[in-house]
Structure 1
Amino acid sequence: MAEVRFTKGHGTGNDFVLVADPAGALDVSPATVARLCDRHVGIGADGLLRAVRVGADVEATALAAAFETTALASTEQAFWFMDYWNADGSTAEMCGNGIRVFVAFLVREGLVELPAGGTLPILTRGGVVPVQRTATGFEADLGRWRMDADEVAVRIDGVDVVRPGLSIRVPNPHVVVALAEDAELDGADLTAPPVLDPVPVAGANVELVRPADPLVEDGVGRIRMRVHERGSGETRSCGTGAVAAALATRYWAGPEAPQDWRVTVPGGVLGVRIVAAEDGEHVALSGPAELVYSGTVHISVGDVSGGDR
């Protein structure tokens, strides 16, 4: 058995097991991830985040080359890869809540220095995400977003009729469904995954959204959201899902809709900003990041080995 140190953290209730692996010595299997994230027999979490230097991991090195970011890896500022796994042991492009918790973890572990107002680039499977430390937490620039033209029919347990969904990538795939009443949002049964037609090739997170009344207050749009995440089930929050929900609601509301949004999820409140950039419209996600406790866990030798994954 190998003893591995971990930290438990969360962003608005979206919780993670975090492991520091600067040299890329851990080779964690999907089965190990699923066991660690199991809420009955493991630590319990919506996913696992492994912190590894770009040059110490084969996948990260290839991603950096693909995103043309190899120069960043050689700077004095450490360039880190967020190796994100869902609770079922599958991998995902990135995680909007997780990346804030990831940077908070790097700072507390002394792996990076990041003063208030400073920005740290993080490599993810979805691209390079700059994360800024703010007075109240962290804000991540998720970059450009994309909306698919075709609607998806969504069948949700507890909702009486099939609803149309809007497909948005930021960069994770999402399908956003608008609901007319609070009772519909509260009564939806997300213990089972919503059924999508057509089925997205890579799957999708599904967000159920209820606009506030009034929708806009003091120039800020307001919505409530619940989410079913692929690979994790219903979670108390989803960062990229909050962004997708705000983008979809802005689209439905029309050209006069605001660029700033307040998204209330079961685990708290997230901020979404839509900003113009040289390469197109970007979206920024802000919110808290909490590190709850640290400990050690024993993993079978077969699950952890030296070398790159």
Structure 2
Amino acid sequence: MKITFYKYQGTGNDFVMIDNREGIFSHETSLVSKMCDRKFGIGADGLILIEHHDKLDFEMVYFNADGSQSLCGNGSRCAVSFARYLGIIQDHANFLTIDGEYEADIKNGLIHLHMRDQQNPKKFDSHYFLNNGSPHHIEFVNDVDKKDVRNLGATTRYSDAYKPNGTNVNFVQVKEDHTIYVRTYERGVEDETLSCGTGITASALAAADKGLRSPIFIEAKGGKLEVRFEQNVDKSFSNIWLIGPAEQVFVGQFDI
């Protein structure tokens, strides 16, 4: 059986998107991995199903390329863009994720994803840590382009400190004008991706501990994003928004 899929990307973080409101696509992880494979499949960092929800606009079911599941910030933004393309929403969305209910707005061609309130990232001698629906190890470095993100990220991701489930790993360089440059090793993809929405958000909140204030502008290898937030007296964060583009790349069919 052939199934129609759509390819979306959010600052280089790319996803196979499927309208599954009729339930024709199973949640079989081996099929997810096959479709995401860059040599033998379509090729993507993850796969997203848009499914029917009785009370919300839709449910987003997200799989990493290896079939595992977590919250995906850029994937959520792409899901909102796809839902608008399908006519499910107009300029606002309330939808269900593995991390619960989220909302988003579409303004001036950009997807504004409202993230959950967060406590101050945990600070250690060499890094920060924050779980904002996905776990993130955050290291600040002087020159992020000199970092071997794939090998250093894998070492930390599989270290004893993060067993058994591992973590995503972000390397962050503070630049001028409230800007940070972020490179991320993503768990579930097991490689560096061009952008990671939850990682960028976590990195921006950690950067607030270094004196940066909202809005924080982010440079990733796949493009530019923005994180806006309110920092409270107790150093917790509220009204957090991840802002950036999400674009349809092409449409195709895959034999399942």
Question: Normalization by structure 1: what TM-score?
Answer: 0.76
1:170 and 2:155 correspond: no
1:1-309 alignment runs, 5 A limit = 2-55=1-54, 73=55, 79-92=57-70, 94-110=71-87, 112-114=88-90, 118-147=91-120, 149=122, 151=124, 164-180=126-142, 182=143, 185-192=144-151, 193-195=154-156, 196-212=159-175, 214=176, 217=177, 221-232=178-189, 233-251=191-209, 253-254=210-211, 257-275=212-230, 281-299=238-256
- Report the alpha carbon displacement of residue 28 of structure 1 after superposing the two structures with TM: 2.9
CA change 1:10–1:203 in 2 (3 A) is same
CA change 1:201–1:259 in 2 (3 A) is farther
- Maintained 8 Å contact 1:6/1:296: yes
Equivalent-residue separation in structure 2 for 1:236 and 1:4 (angstroms)? 27
Please tell me the residue identity of whatever aligns with 1:45: A
- Report the alpha carbon displacement of residue 147 of structure 1 after superposing the two structures with TM: 4.3
CA change 1:106–1:149 in 2 (3 A) is closer
Equivalent-residue separation in structure 1 for 2:163 and 2:94 (angstroms)? 30
- Report the alpha carbon displacement of residue 106 of structure 1 after superposing the two structures with TM: 1.2
- Maintained 8 Å contact 1:145/1:171: no
- Maintained 8 Å contact 2:113/2:243: yes
**Which runs of 5 or more structure 2 residues have no equivalent in the other structure?**
none
The residue number in structure 2 matching 1:158 is none
Judge which range, 279-288 or 30-39, deviates more: 279-288
- Report the alpha carbon displacement of residue 21 of structure 1 after superposing the two structures with TM: 0.6
CA change 1:211–1:200 in 2 (3 A) is farther
CA change 1:79–1:113 in 2 (3 A) is closer
**Which runs of 5 or more structure 1 residues have no equivalent in the other structure?**
56-72, 152-162, 300-309
Deviation per CA, 1:276-302: give whole Å up to 9, x if none.
69x962311000010011011001xxx
Equivalent-residue separation in structure 1 for 2:231 and 2:121 (angstroms)? 20
CA change 1:242–1:149 in 2 (3 A) is closer
Equivalent-residue separation in structure 2 for 1:167 and 1:51 (angstroms)? 30
- Report the alpha carbon displacement of residue 188 of structure 1 after superposing the two structures with TM: 1.8
Please tell me the residue identity of whatever aligns with 1:242: I
Judge which range, 260-269 or 279-288, deviates more: 279-288
- Maintained 8 Å contact 1:37/1:48: yes
- Report the alpha carbon displacement of residue 143 of structure 1 after superposing the two structures with TM: 1.6
- Report the alpha carbon displacement of residue 7 of structure 1 after superposing the two structures with TM: 0.2
Equivalent-residue separation in structure 1 for 2:5 and 2:203 (angstroms)? 32
Equivalent-residue separation in structure 1 for 2:150 and 2:240 (angstroms)? 29
Equivalent-residue separation in structure 1 for 2:83 and 2:109 (angstroms)? 17
Deviation per CA, 1:111-133: give whole Å up to 9, x if none.
x131xxx3211110112111101
The structure with the largest alpha-carbon Rg is 1
- Maintained 8 Å contact 2:122/2:130: no
Please tell me the residue identity of whatever aligns with 1:198: A
Equivalent-residue separation in structure 2 for 1:276 and 1:225 (angstroms)? 21
Please tell me the residue identity of whatever aligns with 2:132: V
SS in 1 for 2:82: helix
Deviation per CA, 1:66-121: give whole Å up to 9, x if none.
xxxxxxx1xxxx521110000111111x21111111111111122x131xxx3211
Question: Normalization by structure 2: what TM-score?
Answer: 0.91
Equivalent-residue separation in structure 2 for 1:148 and 1:179 (angstroms)? 17
- Report the alpha carbon displacement of residue 190 of structure 1 after superposing the two structures with TM: 2.7
Equivalent-residue separation in structure 1 for 2:228 and 2:253 (angstroms)? 38
Equivalent-residue separation in structure 2 for 1:200 and 1:84 (angstroms)? 22
- Maintained 8 Å contact 1:18/1:49: yes
The residue number in structure 2 matching 1:69 is none
- Maintained 8 Å contact 1:146/1:169: no
